Structures are given as C-alpha cells and as structure tokens.
Structure 1
Amino acid sequence: MESPDSDYLLSHCLYFTAARFGRHMEKLAVEAFASLDIPPSYGYMIITINDHPGITQKELCHKLTIAPSTSTRFIDKLVNQSLAKRKQEGKHILLFLTDEGRAMCNEIYECFNKIYMRHLEILNSSHSQELIRLLHEANEIMEKNNR
C-alpha cells in the first residue's frame, strides 16, 4: 500500500485539522481579550467561578476539562491578582471571586461576544452554529469513551 502524501494527511487528519482550527480560534480569542489583563482561558475560569460560587477545584476541572495541575496554576495566578480567593471548608477548598473578579465579569462577557461575533463574521452564522453543535457532540462522545 502506498503512503499518502503530506497534503492528503494534513487535509484529512482530524487531529491536525482540529489543532489548526484551535490555533485560529486562539488568535481570535487573544485579539478579543487584548483590552483585559488576562488570557482568554482565565476568562472562562472566572466566569465559571462566578456562576458557581464555592465550586471545588475538582468540579472546576471537570467543567473546564482541564488537569488539576493546570487549574492550580490558573487559580494561583487569579489569587495573586486578587481576582479569586480560596476558602477552606473541612477538607475541601472552595473557590470564590473577589469583588475585583466579579467586577471583571461584564468585560469578560464582552470579550466572549467579540469572539463569537468575529467567528460568525468569518464562517457565517449557520456554518458556525453547525460547527459548534458538531464539536460539542464530538466532545461528549470523546468524554464518555475516556472515562
């Protein structure tokens, strides 16, 4: 059997295509968050903590699909920037936003909206919505099979 060429592999490989698309989306997100002093990934963490005050690190990791070591680094930075705080309750550490963290939420939502509007502009609404739906379904299937 003849090996496929690299052009074929690059255009038919889900791993490469998803990573490539992720890099394009990361660029849009970084541009949208340029006005804030936090990276986009921190924005998702702040909003999640805001929506679930007292969330545990384990719950946060599950919601954001990140490793505990990654969340520890992110949380440490948010705490050092006075945007979040930890509160010990029994053997659990609960996460809360500070007043400064809560005050950023509207700006973060504006940045999320910029990302959304930009990819709608580039991809068109129906294509964008279909891609979001398909990726969400694919993620659900992957998560079920990785448990």
Structure 2
Amino acid sequence: MERIQEEDDILMYCLYFTASRFARNISKLADEAIDGELAPSYYYLMLVVHFHPGITQKELSERLSLAPSTSTRFLDKLEKSGLLQRDVIGKQSHITLTPSGEATYTAFRQSLKTLFANYASILGKEESELLSKTLHEANEQLEKK
C-alpha cells in the first residue's frame, strides 16, 4: 500500500506529468468543440492575426510562443487555404486575414464559447477561469527564464 501511495504522490505532484495529462484531456474537449478542418493551433494563430492585422511573422511567433519554423508551416497552410495573406514590405511579411479567414475566425469564436461551456460544466466557471489565469501566469514566468 505504501508503494502505491508513493506512486500516486509522485504522479500528483509532478507538474510535467500533470500538465501533460491535462493537455491531453483539454485537447479532447477542444477537438469536440472546434468544428473545422484545422487543428486548434491554427485557429489561435488566426485569432492573433484578427486582433493585429498586419502583424509580422516575428511578432506573431513571439505572441504565440512558436518557433519561427512552426509559424512558417502554419502560415503556409493557412495562406494555401486562402484564409490569410502575407504582404512583403521591405524584409518583413505582414499578415492579415482574408474575408474567408475572417468568416472562419468568427465561427471559431463560437466554438470557443462551446469549449468554455463544456469544461466549465465539468470544472466550474470560477475554477476554469482561475486555472486558465494561473496557467497563463506560470507560462509567462517559465518563458522569462
């Protein structure tokens, strides 16, 4: 019995294991709520572009904590799908959503409401908001290291 308790303690208090387990569970909920042809990460990129039309790729990568190569891959796919466009000004690409991209973004926002309602019904609204805020702040600290 003591070994089982030790195992439970290690798993419960290991932030890496707990965060990974949580990410898998919330990803399942997101996949159910976000009805679309793209993975959820693409929609979050579109969200940032919606709020910052003309954003540069570097700024976008920084806002989403993405490696430049990852953002390039995402942008290539979204551009090929006709959801965004890149305008080169000097040495920088400035990114905006196309009308089709704006429509896709609008549908995504509705999916976010569904996603929040789904996990809030399980965790509670206040707990969901607090957990999201706490995770956001922890990520900010970890990224400053």
Task: State the TM-score, normalized to the length of structure 1.
Answer: 0.90
Return the letter of the residue paired with 2:122: I
Return the letter of the residue paired with 2:90: G
Q: Distance in 1 between the 2:113 and 2:29 partners?
A: 11
Q: Distance in 2 between the 1:95 and 1:59 partners?
A: 10
- What's the counterpart of residue 110 of structure 2? 110
Deviation readout 1:42-83 (Å, 9 max, x if unpaired): 111111111111111110011111111111111010011010
- What's the counterpart of residue 126 of structure 2? 126
Tell me how far 1:38 sits from its aligned partner: 1.6
- What's the counterpart of residue 64 of structure 1? 64
Match of 2:93, SS state, is strand
Tell me how far 1:110 sits from its aligned partner: 0.5
Deviation readout 1:117-143 (Å, 9 max, x if unpaired): 111001011211221121122112112
Q: Distance in 2 between the 1:55 and 1:91 partners?
A: 13
Q: Distance in 1 between the 2:72 and 2:33 partners?
A: 25
Return the letter of the residue paired with 1:111: S
Task: State the TM-score, normalized to the length of structure 2.
Answer: 0.91
- What's the counterpart of residue 9 of structure 1? 10
Alignment of 1:73-84 (within 5 A): 73-84=73-84
Alignment of 1:94-109 (within 5 A): 94-109=94-109
Q: Distance in 1 between the 2:119 and 2:84 partners?
A: 30
Q: Distance in 2 between the 1:11 and 1:105 partners?
A: 37
Q: Distance in 1 between the 2:96 and 2:129 partners?
A: 32
Structure 1 alignment gaps of length 5 or more: none
More off after superposition, 54-63 vs 6-15: 6-15
Q: CA RMSD for the aligned pairs?
A: 1.6
